[in-house]
Amino acid sequence: MRRVVFNQKGGVGKSTITCNLAAISAAQGKRVLVLDLDPQGNSTRYLLGHNPENPTETLAGFFKEMLSFSFHNKGIVGYIHPTPFDGLFLMAAHPELED
């Protein structure tokens, strides 16, 4: 089952809905990956408790690596963070995503 939550308008609950659907699915035994594409990083802070300090371990870093055509990529797995919730993983946001 795949779910995508998006809307350009701010303050409509996208991050809250996404994190809650992800937590429910993980609690039901599914493996869940949340991609936080919002430069504000609310889902990242909610699921990790903080923002990653190293921007190269975020979606912004992943996009930079993919666009640089490097032969020494760390691959997508290098950007996935475990959360405190079993079965729930995150590709974190970074303010550079706004660019």
Q: Per residue in 38-52, pLDDT tens?
A: 888 899 999 988 766
Count of residues making up the chain: 99
The pTM of this model reads 0.81
Higher pLDDT, 86 or 3: 86
Burial profile 48-82: b = 16 or more Cβ within 10 angstroms, e = fewer: beebbeebebbbbbbbebeeeeeeeeeeeeebbee
pLDDT given for residue 53 in this prediction: 66
Token pair for 11: 């303050």
Tell me which of 65 and 52 has the higher pLDDT. Answer: 65
Instruction: Kindly tell me if the per-residue pLDDT of 72 is higher than 90.
Output: no
